[in-house]
Structure 1
Amino acid sequence: MAQQAQFDLVIIGSGPGGYVAAVRASQLGLKTAVVEKNARLGGVCLNVGCIPSKALLDSSEYYHLARERFAEYGIKTGKVSLDLAAMLARKDKVVEELTENVRKLLEGNNIEIVQGTATINAPGTIEVDTGKKKKTTLAAKNILLATGSAPIEVKGLEFDGKHIVSSTEALSFDTVPKHLGIVGGGYIGLELGSVWNRLGSKVTVIEMLPKIATTLDGQVGRTLDRILKRQGLAFKLNTKVAKATVARGKVRTVLESGDNTEEMSFDRLLVSIGRRPLTRGLGLEELGVETDPKTGQILVDETYRTSVDGIYAIGDLVPGPMLAHKASAEGTAAVECMAGRAGEVNYDTIPAVVYTWPEVASVGLTEEQVREREIPYCVGSFPFSGAGRARCMGETDGFVKLISHGKTDRILGVHIIGPRAADMIAECVLALEFGASSEDISRTIHGHPTFAEALMEAAMNVRKCSIYAS
């Protein structure tokens, strides 16, 4: 085995948590290496998650607009047809460019990139199988685990990569399924369901719980349900897949809802019920790194250190929402803690976004959570149908909902369903971070006409002095 130079930090995984942590470590003067088992850097997010799915969501939305809505804007196109291969090629190009940018970013910060599969033999010692005869050994003062997560596989619904698939394969179907079944009504299933629905699939979402997108504010979730149904998605709630078999190119399923059973046949079945942390093969059990027996997530302290000194973990590996921006924030904080600085993440101000159309974005507490905690509160809302910019674009679905403390007026949560919600939420995150009140938002001048005016109006409505709200 070839012994390499001592590093201050070796990071296993090059996703949004890993590569951001590496750059921050380099900025703080730490000699850093990143180990990545896949040919491309960027992890799940850049390769088979956030980036390719958003590329397809945008492409499919343009296709839908060209077919269904251009005429109302006075644009005549003639017959519009789908070139799925070109759409997928564009998605792949976007991924390739961004992953290459990550490589340049790491190299530009003098971070060593080691291609291979890592195993921690002992605290401070990482063995990397690079595919060559001799394995490479890296020595490090600290090790940061940032290996991300993978789709959960369900017994009886095992992935075959063609008919019963995970979100990875659902990004690259070679043809548009006539009927796509989706097991799970969470963010990933709804986003991919939206893609293939726009491209011509009949989409049926099967969810065990009584509603979709269960983490959303209830009012927002119900609105999203109505809009997606109007777009053509079908939902079977309180329903589970009891059996699935592949025969003659079809996935034949038996669905159970209470005492009732139903058979349905799909061209493809996407199983999207959640993700599990990727910890297998790292050697954590042998090292005694503590994990949650239920979730498999690694337990860490406030500095992201595991139960073993010198080993840290972030992102999907640790408790909390599995979001790329959460992993990036934790990566930065963990490295700053290693360097003796005060790194931390405010988990009360992590935004969440669902990239359906309209988009959904939220930060802070839902109305249900505020009630459960018996916090006195006020609510202000404003529909996008009342916003001039939304009218100009013909995108009037949805609303902004702002929840503030009933006595102090401090903002507790903001929930947006509507156009550009993913971008609008940034102002709300900043407001929560600085402890702003609804009055602070309402007295902040917003450009006109913009979508953000709806947030200002919702804030005004908390105090019952909106100009336009009834």
Structure 2
Amino acid sequence: MKKLNVDVAVIGTGTAGMTAYRAAKAQGARTVVIEGGQYGTTCARVGCMPSKLLIAAAEAAHVMETSGPFGVHAGEVRVDGRAVMERVRRERDRFVGFVLEGVESMPVADRLQGHARFTSPCTLQVDDHTEIEAGRFVIATGSTPLRLPQLENVGPGVVTSDDVFYWDELPRSVAVIGTGVIGLELGQALSRLGVRVRLIARGGNIAHVSDPEVLRCAARVMGEELDIAFQTQVVGAEQDGDEVVLRTRDALGKESSERFQYVLMAAGRTPNVHDLGLEHTGLERGEDGIPLFDTRTMQCGTSHIFIAGDANNERALLHDAADHGKIAGDNAGRFPDVRPGLRRTPIAVAFSEPNIATLGKNWRTLCAGGQRKFAVGSVSFANQGRSRVMLQNKGLLRVYAEYGTRLFLGAEMIAPRAEHLAHLLAWACQMRLTVEQMLDMPFYHPVIEEGVRTALRDLAANLSKGDSETLVEDTEPGT
């Protein structure tokens, strides 16, 4: 067996792992990376980029089908499912190619392939070919789609979100299990491309929304377009020819069955930490098996081991994985000089239509501990000027600020082009602006951002009078 002795060993070559490798190398550490699967990040291969390609095709079809109210009639819309998926795969492979170029630019001696397991706190074994002794480690093993026990070993018709982007053709029908970001995005996109879709939610959640008012609005708005079964349990399924018979139970206990070409499990992802030999590291782990770590440094306890990206399950998003990797790699490279790294304001977006976004401190976080110490400002987009012009006048924005300091704390929303509104507000949050400072900023007319100003005005008034529950309609000029 080959033996290596290095300063830093990084397990995983996704976004977090590659970033950690580069950061550790920049600190002058002798560093290697180990990959147990395919090279190429989750985002590029089966995540954010191919899903946005599918969404873009769906948006094109939807625009053509809904142009009538503008007086524009496009005629019969024909979706070529094979051409849609061919473009998704082609462009996906292009994005993956860029990632592979980055991997291939690394010295060959710095790259190992195989499954890595800890055999002691300071050693890894990679398959049966290499033993690595290292002073520090970065666990960046990513995540895989969560699989439901009720749907195990059913047949080829039960798939995960990773499988979707290898389809040659759009299916006839799909049951999507889960109304989180992945399920919602894929479900709406497939529906707009002509696939019969039913979304099944165990509870009543939509994406990452925790504000009850925004959640109610999101459930109503998305339910106007999509067939969503809330409070519904998956009982089991059987493969019957080229279809799956899916059995479910509703909130009243009534069981029913329905046939779909595919049942798509999109109920989240689970960190890949359960076959790493962590029992040999001495690390303290939580009930989920993930080592306890400091979110500022990515250090596991006081050890020489760091954890980054989806593997630590803190914020399973690409930009956070990159930040995790930079912090973990820096600290592994200069260990034992461990320092807090840059943690940016949290921001998350579901690319449904309307977009759903959260940023800063969300409702659930702010309500933790019982006594409320924040005010709320709101705006409905039903009559917001620019939104109505575009016939996208659906949604609700809720913004939060701290009593006393009047500091802006965060927001939750379902809104037209919320991906842009969320960035605007996340920057304000990271800059620790007060509500008054935000209202001093320029707002053009007519733009959707005028809705942000209306919500901030409501927030300022509620900060002053202590009323945090008033909902106002947008009354900007032009509405």
**TM-score normalised over the length of structure 1:** 0.88
- Paired amino acid for 1:234: D
1:351 corresponds to? 347
Question: How many angstroms apart in 2 are the aligned matches of 1:273 and 1:343?
Answer: 33
For the 8 Å contact 2:373–2:402, the answer to whether it is kept is yes
Structure 1: segments with no counterpart, 5+ residues:
none
Instruction: Report the CA distance between 1:198 and its aligned residue.
Output: 0.8
Instruction: Report the CA distance between 1:206 and its aligned residue.
Output: 2.0
Mapping 1:231-310, distance limit 5 Å = 231=225, 233-267=226-260, 268-293=262-287, 295-301=288-294, 302-306=296-300, 309-310=303-304
Question: How many angstroms apart in 1 are the aligned matches of 2:361 and 2:60?
Answer: 33
What SS class does the counterpart of residue 428 from structure 1 fall into? Answer: helix
Instruction: Report the CA distance between 1:259 and its aligned residue.
Output: 4.8
Mapping 1:7-26, distance limit 5 Å = 7-26=6-25
Q: 1:160 to 1:136 in 2, by over 3 A?
A: farther
Q: Which has the higher contact order (CA 8 A, sep 6+)?
A: 2
- Which residue of 347, 371, 374 corresponds with 2:371? 374
Structure 2: segments with no counterpart, 5+ residues:
463-473
Question: How many angstroms apart in 1 are the aligned matches of 2:24 and 2:154?
Answer: 40
Question: How many angstroms apart in 2 are the aligned matches of 1:17 and 1:453?
Answer: 37
- Within the alignment, does 1:135 sit opposite 2:143 as a pair? no
Q: 1:289 to 1:108 in 2, by over 3 A?
A: same
Question: How many angstroms apart in 2 are the aligned matches of 1:341 and 1:211?
Answer: 38
User: Sequence identity, in percent?
Assistant: 28
Q: 1:21 to 1:221 in 2, by over 3 A?
A: same
Instruction: Report the CA distance between 1:147 and its aligned residue.
Output: 0.7
Instruction: Report the CA distance between 1:54 and its aligned residue.
Output: 1.7
- Which residue of 195, 201, 205 corresponds with 1:207? 201
What SS class does the counterpart of residue 358 from structure 2 fall into? Answer: strand
For the 8 Å contact 1:116–1:128, the answer to whether it is kept is yes
**TM-score normalised over the length of structure 2:** 0.86
What SS class does the counterpart of residue 181 from structure 1 fall into? Answer: strand
For the 8 Å contact 1:336–1:343, the answer to whether it is kept is no
1:363 corresponds to? 359
Instruction: Report the CA distance between 1:369 and its aligned residue.
Output: 4.8
Matched residue count: 460
Deviation per CA, 1:329-386: give whole Å up to 9, x if none: 2212222333236333548x31121111111111133445544532233222234455
- Which residue of 443, 447, 451 corresponds with 1:450? 447
Q: 1:433 to 1:380 in 2, by over 3 A?
A: same
Instruction: Report the CA distance between 1:72 and its aligned residue.
Output: 4.8
Deviation per CA, 1:188-238: give whole Å up to 9, x if none: 11111112111112222222224434643222222221122211x222222
Q: 1:405 to 1:235 in 2, by over 3 A?
A: same
160-169 or 433-442, which deviates more: 160-169
Deviation per CA, 1:431-464: give whole Å up to 9, x if none: 2223221112111113444333322332123224
Q: 1:57 to 1:19 in 2, by over 3 A?
A: same
- Which residue of 82, 93, 99 corresponds with 1:96? 93
- Within the alignment, does 1:180 sit opposite 2:186 as a pair? no
Question: How many angstroms apart in 2 are the aligned matches of 1:448 and 1:139?
Answer: 62
2:152 corresponds to? 158
- Paired amino acid for 1:262: E
For the 8 Å contact 1:23–1:109, the answer to whether it is kept is no
Mapping 1:71-110, distance limit 5 Å = 71-72=68-69, 77-106=74-103
- Paired amino acid for 1:292: G
For the 8 Å contact 1:11–1:22, the answer to whether it is kept is yes
Q: 1:312 to 1:207 in 2, by over 3 A?
A: same
Question: How many angstroms apart in 2 are the aligned matches of 1:359 and 1:445?
Answer: 24
Q: 1:75 to 1:10 in 2, by over 3 A?
A: farther
Aligned-residue RMSD, C-alpha? 2.9
2:466 corresponds to? none
Deviation per CA, 1:59-93: give whole Å up to 9, x if none: 21112222x13455565544332222222222223
Deviation per CA, 1:80-128: give whole Å up to 9, x if none: 3222222222222332222222233455576833333222333443333
What SS class does the counterpart of residue 413 from structure 1 fall into? Answer: strand
218-227 or 202-211, which deviates more: 202-211
2:390 corresponds to? 393
For the 8 Å contact 1:299–1:319, the answer to whether it is kept is no
279-288 or 100-109, which deviates more: 100-109
For the 8 Å contact 1:187–1:354, the answer to whether it is kept is yes
- Within the alignment, does 1:144 sit opposite 2:138 as a pair? yes
Instruction: Report the CA distance between 1:145 and its aligned residue.
Output: 0.6
2:465 corresponds to? none
What SS class does the counterpart of residue 312 from structure 1 fall into? Answer: strand
1:424 corresponds to? 421
Question: How many angstroms apart in 1 are the aligned matches of 2:361 and 2:405?
Answer: 16
